[in-house]
């Protein structure tokens, strides 16, 4: 089920866009019957792509006996599958690198991707899965959703990334709890939107939960999951011991590779990743001995456990603050517009399914601009806060009180008819009219509000929650047109029917 945030990300103009050559390469790579020479010709027209491909092929990673000087020659030596998957990988890496925010740790991102890609290819080879090329590319691009979330959500998401270190298993859980989506779902949707082969769409989507993948792609998705654990372990400056333990256990369970071989495999991944680093403009790290590091880590295991528990507690506190900030208006503490939209949609759905009434009130502070102009914005803020507190005294069970925007407030009232909602609106209008608002400096001012009320029940059927909101907005407009400081009700039956023509 797609969430609002996922739709917002996928529809954002800030998303990376594929150049024409990348689109054409992907089309050719998806086709099992594509002409080999046509693929070679397309790749050869892009100097940057050709240079990257040849640099990679000629690196010590592949260990070829002679230098390759053309795309056609690379295809003959490595095979069409290898060239296809490498080409897709380099196309996407170029797009992401060129369009990524300048303050994003791009080198750290690609180092992690490279660890993953090399690990997936190596595990595929050792386990006999015979999907080395596909595993390399699937692992390399598994985190493209992360870049999309950085571009659209911005600094808040980058702070979330920093708080989880390099552990994407932790990141995935926090994203689900805080954002109701995650970088795997975003990446899969983006891959589908870009027209990538289905094998990559599905492995990206399920790489944190391989058992959810279809039978056809489950083995490859497990390879990508294992590669992510390798990246969790190798990406930090200090090796992540806990991730190494999880990786070793899953490696034996899924691939029938003994746990004792896991450490040697990590050393090989470190070495092979260094050989490919220049192809992705990554500065190679000094070689690390995994076995030696693990011996040292055992001596400080108790200390690490304590620190990790403290860190998790801090992350939970931070998540609670972020969740609250995402749902609340910072000035008044009421629900914000996003939370209101969700409450109205949910309330309307339940009202329609169970056929009980639902009412909506829109309040607007009369002549609020005059308050800001005459007394200043701090005075206006004081008025907003005091009205919010008054509305909270009458918050209905299961309802929602929100700051709709500016000087407008809303009340969603489940199981309450229009007449009762109008009484509540009138009661609050009178309360506000009778108050004197302390705006500081021993000044007290008189404030009034206008209100619009609308609702749905068995006599007043509506087509959507947006129509209900539109009715309340029209009622509010009628109240303001009637001289303000009053309540007006608009029922759907009062609205003219639209012509089908």
Q: Could you list the active site residues?
A: 407
Phi, psi values for residue 360, rounded to 5°: -140, 135
In contact, 432 and 447? CB cutoff 8 Å: yes
Q: What share of the chain is helix, strand, coil (3-state, %, to 5)?
A: 65, 10, 25
Residue appearing with tokens 């571009």: 151
CB-side neighbour CA atoms (13 Å) of 255: 30
Structure-block tokens of residue 366: 């009369």
Six-digit token string for 353: 């399914």
Burial (0-12, 13-18, 19+ Cβ within 10 Å), 80: middle
Measured distance CA(239)–CA(293) in Å, rounded? 7
Q: Where are the alpha helices (DSSP H) in 300-358?
A: 301-327, 337-354
DSSP category for residue 15: S
Partners of 405 in the beta sheet? Answer: 408
69-75, long-range: CB within 8 Å, 24+ apart, which pairs?
70/44, 71/40, 71/43, 71/44, 72/37, 72/40, 75/36, 75/39, 75/40
Query: Which residue's structure tokens are 């797009």?
Result: 95
Answer yes or no: are the C-beta atoms of 476 and 452 closer than 8 Å: yes
Q: How many Cα atoms occupy the beta-carbon half-sphere of 293 within 13 Å?
A: 18
Give the span between the Cα atoms of 243 and 246, in whole angstroms: 5
CA quadruple 48, 49, 52, 58: dihedral sign: negative
């Amino acid at each position: 089920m797609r969430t609002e945030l996922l739709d917002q990300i996928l529809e954002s103009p800030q998303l990376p866009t594929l150049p024409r050559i990348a689109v054409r390469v992907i089309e050719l790579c998806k086709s099992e019957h594509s002409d080999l020479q046509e693929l070679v010709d397309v790749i050869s027209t892009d100097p940057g792509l050709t240079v990257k491909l040849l640099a990679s092929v000629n690196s010590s990673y592949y260990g070829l006996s002679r230098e390759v000087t053309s795309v056609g020659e690379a295809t003959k030596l490595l095979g069409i599958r290898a060239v296809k998957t490498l080409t897709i990988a380099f196309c996407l890496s170029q797009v992401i690198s060129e369009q990524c925010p300048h303050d994003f740790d791009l080198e750290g991102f690609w180092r992690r991707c490279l660890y993953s890609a090399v690990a997936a290819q190596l595990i595929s080879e050792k386990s006999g899965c015979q999907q080395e090329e596909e595993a390399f590319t699937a692992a390399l691009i598994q985190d493209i959703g992360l870049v999309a979330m950085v571009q659209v959500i911005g600094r808040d998401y980058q702070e979330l990334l920093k708080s989880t270190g390099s552990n994407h298993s932790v990141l995935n859980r926090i994203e689900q709890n805080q954002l109701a989506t995650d970088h795997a779902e975003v990446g899969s949707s983006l891959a589908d939107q870009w027209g990538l082969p289905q094998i990559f769409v599905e492995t990206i989507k399920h790489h944190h939960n391989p058992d959810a993948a279809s039978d056809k792609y489950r083995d490859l998705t497990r390879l990508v999951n294992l590669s992510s654990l390798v990246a969790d372990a190798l990406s930090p400056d200090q090796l992540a011991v806990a991730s190494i333990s999880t990786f070793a256990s899953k490696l034996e369970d899924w691939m029938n590779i003994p746990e004792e071989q896991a450490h040697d495999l990590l050393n090989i991944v470190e070495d092979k990743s260094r050989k490919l680093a220049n192809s992705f403009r990554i500065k190679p790290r000094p070689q690390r001995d995994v076995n030696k590091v693990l011996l040292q880590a055992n001596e400080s295991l108790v200390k690490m456990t304590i620190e990790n528990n403290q860190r998790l507690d801090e992350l939970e506190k931070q998540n609670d603050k972020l969740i609250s900030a995402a749902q609340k208006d910072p000035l008044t503490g009421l629900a914000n517009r996003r939370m209101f939209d969700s409450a109205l949609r949910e309330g309307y759905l339940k009202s329609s399914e169970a056929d009980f009434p639902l009412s909506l009130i829109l309040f607007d502070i009369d002549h609020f601009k005059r308050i800001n102009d005459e007394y200043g914005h701090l005075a206006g803020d004081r008025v907003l806060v005091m009205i919010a507190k008054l509305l909270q005294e009458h918050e209905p069970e299961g309802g929602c009180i929100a700051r709709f925007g500016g000087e407008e407030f809303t009340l969603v009232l489940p199981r309450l008819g229009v007449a009762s909602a109008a009484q509540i609106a009138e009661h609050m209008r009178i309360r506000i009219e009778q108050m004197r608002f302390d705006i500081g400096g021993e000044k007290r001012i008189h404030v009034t509000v206008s209100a619009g009320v609308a609702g749905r029940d068995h006599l007043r059927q509506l087509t959507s929650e947006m129509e209900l909101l539109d009715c309340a907005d029209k009622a509010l407009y009628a109240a303001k047109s009637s001289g303000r400081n009053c309540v007006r009700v608009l029922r759907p039956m009062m609205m003219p029917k639209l012509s089908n023509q």
